[in-house]
Amino acid sequence: MPAARTRTTKASAGADAAAKQAELEKKINNLESLVASLKKDLALHCKKSEKEFQQLSEKKAEPSNALTEKDLEGIHRAISRLNSRLDKINPRRRG
């Protein structure tokens, strides 16, 4: 009887090994599909980032906060008004 017991033990060990191998192969397939999905997401993210970078570069090239001639004229008028008010309050000594 010990020989029969050894055969069944070997057979069940072989079945266990086959089941473990199948489980590992399934896990490997799942990991491979996850890696493929992550690569796809990364590629989309890179394209989006490149597009945003390009837009920011173009926006930076345009001086959005530069003063216009109209702005400078307004500032000049405001300074002149303040200067006139200051002269009324405290006249400058001339001559």
Domain extent, residue 32, equals: 2-89
In a domain, 62, yes or no: yes
Q: Could you tell me if residue 17 is inside a domain? A: yes
Encode the chain (95 residues) as per-residue pLDDT tens digits: 455 556 667 778 788 899 999 999 999 999 999 999 999 999 999 999 999 999 888 877 666 667 788 888 999 999 999 988 888 888 766 54
Distance, in Å, from the CA atom of 64 to the CA atom of 61, rounded to the nearest integer, reads: 9
Residue 94 in any domain: the answer is no
Tell me the pLDDT tens digit for each residue of 39-56: 999 999 999 999 999 988
In a domain, 44, yes or no: yes
In a domain, 95, yes or no: no
3-class SS of residue 93: coil
Kindly report the pTM of this predicted structure. 0.47
13 found inside a domain? yes
Into how many domains does the chain fold?
Answer: 1
